[in-house]
Amino acid sequence: MTVPRVVSLAPSATATATALGGADALVGVTQHCDPNPDAGTAHAEQGGDAADLPATVGGWLNPSLDRVADLDPDVVLTSDGLQADLADECRERGFDVRHREPATLDEAIAGFAARGADVGRPDAGERLAAEARQRLDRVAEAVADRPRPTVYCEEWSDPPMAAGNWVPDAVRAAGGRYPFVDAGDRSREVDLGAVAAADPDHVVVHVCGHGDRVDPAEIERRDWSVDAPVHVIDDTLLNQPSPALIDGVERLARLFHPDAYS
């Protein structure tokens, strides 16, 4: 089978392609992508250089399409509504664009199979989606019939924004209750008084682009009457519709129900 030449302009698409075993198909990625977390270290330990890693084509919202064209891709991957215009620009350039825009947890998992087809690995995509559903089933079984804590998830802190899209589904899948945004709706700015009024049992902070580099004390010092533990987790576990999202659900389940899920 001929391996397609793939340029990924979305970190979630890059992570999914890598999880599918498709890192060898990636000829270009953005500076926000991590095409193979271990490849660079392993290659350096062997005395090599970065020649075998995909080229970087710029940021995920402002890549150089000239650089993309130079890479002669068979397919270009984009994701999220924020990249919809970029996907159109790529099509105008004549690229074969595979744009995926999941809004819920179910759609994200279906996207694993779709990405498998996008990068010439349909069977791997179906397996990855099936494995994700099996993992979620195990979480559901572990947290079934337990009290559901109220959870506030913050995707951005200036101004504070309650996480939307698939995060409400992720919280519920992990055995929590999420009254701030409906599943499938975009993240939205929230009033801290309204958050306090909901009396959350857990505050989960996953600021986009910050990894886990947020000081929980900054959240705890806010002028709000919230008496709940603050959990800072790597934003990729909740902000990307990639296989890391399933890791994120499992992480939340351990936080909400430590005696039930391990």
**Which of 42-51, 90-99, 139-148 has the lowest average pLDDT?**
42-51
200 within 8 A of 226, measured Cβ to Cβ:
yes
Mean of pLDDT values over 6-30 = 95
Give domain 6-101's CATH architecture.
3-Layer(aba) Sandwich (3.40)
Burial class (CB in 10 A: 0-12, 13-18, 19+), 44: exposed
Q: What fold characterizes domain 143-256?
A: Rossmann fold (3.40.50)
How far are the Cα atoms of 8, 25, 172, 203 from residue 74, in angstroms, in the given order? 11, 10, 39, 43
Q: CATH 3.40.50.1980 in the chain, residues?
A: 6-101, 143-256
Q: CA-CA distance, 123 to 135, in Å (whole number)?
A: 18
User: Terminus-to-terminus CA distance in the chain, angstroms?
Assistant: 40
Q: Is the dihedral of CA 140, 143, 146, 152 positive or negative?
A: negative
Between residues 63 and 49, the one the model is more confident about: 63
Structure confidence by residue, pLDDT tens digits, 101-157: 999 999 999 999 999 999 999 999 999 999 999 999 999 999 999 999 999 999 999
Q: CA-CA distance, 136 to 235, in Å (whole number)?
A: 19
| Beta-strand runs (E) in 68-182 | 75-79, 97-100, 151-157, 160-162
Q: CA-CA distance, 214 to 204, in Å (whole number)?
A: 11
| Encoded amino acid at 51, one letter | A
Say which residues have a Cβ less than 8 Å from residue 232's Cβ, sequence separation at least 6: 205, 206, 212, 214, 215, 216
Q: CA-CA distance, 75 to 114, in Å (whole number)?
A: 13
What is the H or E stretch that residue 29 is in?
Answer: strand 26-29
3-state SS, 194-208, equals HHHHCCCCEEEECCC
The SS3 of residue 120 is coil
Omega of the bond leading into 159 within 30 degrees of 0 (cis) = yes
Structure confidence by residue, pLDDT tens digits, 226-239: 999 999 999 999 99
Looking at residue 53, its pLDDT comes to 86
20 within 8 A of 115, measured Cβ to Cβ:
yes
Q: Residue 203 forms beta bridges with which residues?
A: 152, 230
Mean of pLDDT values over 62-70 = 97
